[in-house]
């Protein structure tokens, strides 16, 4: 019986001490708004923007791969037409519309031969630059607008370089 009384007294003491620790003013609700602002500005919006920039980077890499493949399967005299066809195909797809991307540069170099190779071991190299706008621009936030951060407050430019061996075009 003594143990029941002891546990009952301890329970009442615990409840009383918890009531003393709690404040009746509702300060937890008052702290919610500033914590939500900090959570949104510091964690959520930048995380969404980083995922979005990753998709934008992949879309630019896709343009570079398409152009390199088109140039490696055609003759060097047809590379300009192949590049223009890949640019228009990429721009008409949904990738640049979703990511807010634009082509800054998509150039190719003349066929290159590796050291020690013969005239048939030629490579094509394509250099591509794509500009991706941020999904949620945080430039209107007062302390971030002065920082000028690529990808958060202003568009970011991605550079790609791809080199691929030229396909057989009937020379040998």
Residue recorded with tokens 């370089």: 161
Q: Where are the domains of the chain?
A: 41-165
CA distance 157 to 133: 9
* Biggest CA-to-CA distance, the chain: 103
Is residue 21 scored above 70 in pLDDT?
no
Per-residue CA distances from 159 to 8, 21, 95, 106, 155 (Å): 71, 58, 17, 10, 13
Residue recorded with tokens 């007294």: 9
CA distance 148 to 144: 7
Is residue 42 scored above 90 in pLDDT?
no
56-110 pLDDT per residue, tens: 999 999 999 999 999 999 888 899 999 999 999 999 999 899 988 999 999 998 8
pLDDT of residue 65: 95
> Per residue in 88-105, is it b (16+ CB within 10 Å) or e — as a string?
eebeeeebbeebebeeee
Across residues 8-18, what is the average pLDDT? 56
Provide the mean pLDDT of the chain: 81
Worst-scoring range by mean pLDDT, 22-36, 74-88, 135-149?
A: 22-36
pLDDT of residue 172: 40
């Amino acid at each position: 019986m003594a143990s029941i009384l002891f546990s009952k007294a301890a329970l009442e003491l615990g409840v009383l001490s918890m009531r003393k620790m709690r404040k009746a003013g509702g300060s937890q609700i008052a702290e919610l708004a500033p914590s939500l602002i900090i959570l949104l500005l510091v964690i959520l919006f930048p995380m969404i923007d980083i995922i979005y920039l990753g998709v934008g980077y992949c879309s630019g890499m896709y343009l570079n791969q398409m152009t390199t493949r088109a140039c490696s399967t055609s003759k060097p005299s047809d590379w300009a037409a192949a590049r223009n066809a890949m640019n228009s195909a990429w721009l008409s797809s949904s990738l640049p519309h979703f990511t807010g991307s634009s082509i800054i540069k998509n150039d190719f170099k003349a066929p290159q031969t590796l050291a020690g190779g013969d005239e048939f071991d030629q490579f094509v190299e394509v250099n591509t630059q794509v500009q991706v706008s941020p999904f949620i621009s945080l430039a209107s936030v007062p302390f971030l607008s002065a920082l000028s951060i690529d990808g958060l407050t202003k568009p970011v430019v991605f550079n790609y370089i791809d080199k691929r061996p030229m396909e057989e075009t009937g020379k040998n």
